[in-house]
Amino acid sequence: MARSSSGFVAGLTVAAIAVVGFLAYQASANVPDSLGKPQAKKSAPVTTSKGPQQNKKKPAVLPGGSGTGERVVYSIGDDRVWLVGAGNKVQRTFKVTPGTVDPLPGTYPVTSRTASATGSDGTPVEHIVRFASNGGVVIGFSAAIDGSTPKPDTSKKLGGIRESRADGTAMWEFATSDQKVVVVK
């Protein structure tokens, strides 16, 4: 009895290892080529504004109340994102085009990511990073595969926050699962 039980456990172990190996292979197929490669861009110095609206001449200035540590900061009022790395340094900042439904101000974890799909507006998108919902509308960052960032159709409830393809790639590489996203006004 003990012998056949050992064989059963060994069989389950082999099957589990095979499944994990298969999943790892699939995950590696979706990893961007640039992941893990050194980035040539220098970090902008971090400063904090006193209010939620940014100094338009200094977009690297983080909004007040945007937290500390590694995080994505999204300003609803400025339609701008900051990718903030270790040492509280801005690695990248860029403008975005919001959907028609904004996330509420607060701190959220990245809840899911999808390499490519069709956006809620019917546009093929890539590098989808979801982090919130509001009124049943899922909210996340994405880049249109055609590179467009048109104003959204205000007759629809859309939670997609569009970014350029280059910014979408940077977001995808930075905002992995459970990464903190801080939304400010």
pLDDT of residue 60: 72
Residue 53 lies inside a defined structural domain of this protein:
no
pLDDT of residue 28: 44
Q: What is the pLDDT along the chain (185 residues), one digit of tens a residue?
A: 555 566 655 555 555 554 444 444 444 444 444 444 444 343 334 433 334 444 455 677 899 899 999 999 999 999 999 999 999 899 999 999 999 999 999 999 999 999 999 998 899 999 999 999 999 999 999 999 999 999 999 999 999 999 999 999 999 999 999 999 999 99
Residue 58 lies inside a defined structural domain of this protein:
no
pLDDT of residue 13: 56
Residues 94 and 147 in one domain: yes
CA atoms within 13 A on the CB side of 171: 33
Residue-number span of the structural domain to which 21 is assigned? 1-30
Residues 75 and 130 in one domain: yes
Residues 20 and 81 in one domain: no
Q: Are strands 106-109 and 90-95 parallel, antiparallel or unpaired?
A: unpaired
Residue 61 lies inside a defined structural domain of this protein:
no
Residues 81 and 160 in one domain: yes
Residues 94 and 180 in one domain: yes
pLDDT of residue 120: 85
Residue 175 lies inside a defined structural domain of this protein:
yes
Residue 49 lies inside a defined structural domain of this protein:
no
pLDDT of residue 121: 87
Residues 82 and 12 in one domain: no
Residues 167 and 96 in one domain: yes
Residues 111 and 23 in one domain: no
CATH of the domain at 168: 2.40.440.10
Residues 76 and 26 in one domain: no
Residues 25 and 77 in one domain: no
Residues 100 and 12 in one domain: no
Residue 37 lies inside a defined structural domain of this protein:
no
Which residues lie below 8 Å from residue 84, measured CB to CB, with a gap of 6+? 46, 62, 66, 69, 70, 71, 72, 73, 90, 91
Show the beta-strand stretches assigned E in 85-148. 90-95, 106-109, 112-118, 124-134, 137-144
Residue 82 lies inside a defined structural domain of this protein:
yes
pLDDT of residue 48: 38
Report how many domains make up the chain: 2
Residues 12 and 75 in one domain: no
Residue 59 lies inside a defined structural domain of this protein:
no
